[in-house]
Structure formats: structure tokens, C-alpha cells
Amino acid sequence: VQLQASGGGLAQPGGSLRLSCAASGFIFSNYWMYWVRQAPGKEREFVAAISRISGAFYYADSVKGRFTISRNNAKNTVDLQMDSLKPEDTAVYYCAAGRVPSTSQHMYDYWGQGTLVTVSS
């Protein structure tokens, strides 16, 4: 099983970044997909979730209206479009997969290695 996140980098406040996560080694369409982040000195926190066939979406209140999660089951990828970025969005972003819908990270089955997003002027 592999989840390979990419797309992180430096963005200015108000700017945009798009993260992508490529999955392999499991039946992608059977799993809910998640983005989770960990800011420096803080615990990991749920960011966004998308159901198996993109019929349902969930977002943390802190990113609602600014971030959009999407998936392509034909390509086994899940993306996170991040707009109107704020300095407090600075974190390592991880993609994860789970068989059941949950904002509790201990329910997730597979994790990627993370990609760093830095929002700074």
C-alpha cells in the first residue's frame, strides 16, 4: 500500500495550492479518502473527507469555504484545492484512507508520508 502526497510548497497569504495524493496497493474506490494536517507544535487535525464515489464531503470548520477535496477513482488520486490560504494553514498535510467515514484519525487504515505547506509573505 502506498499513498504519495505531492504539491506542497510556499504560498503567500491569500494564495492557492493544490495537493495531490496518488494511491496504490488497495482498492481505492472502496475507501473514504481524507486529508489531515499537523502544524508545528500541534496535534494532527482532520481537514477534509470525501466518500467513495464523491457523493459526500466533510470539512473542518477552519477550512470550510476555502478548501475543496476531490477524487478520481479511475486514476486513484485524491486532491485538495486550497484557496485563500492563511498563515495558520501552514502544516504538513497527509492523505489517508479509511473503510468507514470518520473524523477520528485512529479509524484510518492507510497513511501517506505528508507534504509541507508553508503560507508566508
pLDDT digit string (tens) for 60-76? 999 999 999 999 999 99
pLDDT at 92 over 90: yes
- CB neighbourhood size of 68 (10 A): 16
* Strand, helix or coil for residue 20: strand
- CB neighbourhood size of 43 (10 A): 7
pLDDT the model gives residue 54: 78
Reported confidence tier of residue 113, pLDDT bands at 50, 70, 90: very high
pLDDT at 28 over 90: yes
21: exposed, middle or buried (Cβ count in 10 Å: 0-12, 13-18, 19+)? buried
pLDDT the model gives residue 75: 97
Q: CA-CA distance, 50 to 70, in Å (whole number)?
A: 7
pLDDT the model gives residue 86: 98
pLDDT the model gives residue 62: 97
- Show Cβ contacts of residue 27 under 8 Å, excluding neighbours closer than 6 positions: none
Q: Residue 19 in contact with residue 31, Cβ under 8 Å?
A: no
Alpha-carbon distances of 57 from 25, 40, 54, rounded to whole Å:
24, 26, 7
As a whole number, the mean pLDDT across the chain is: 96
Q: CA-CA distance, 38 to 53, in Å (whole number)?
A: 27
Reported confidence tier of residue 23, pLDDT bands at 50, 70, 90: very high
pLDDT the model gives residue 55: 84
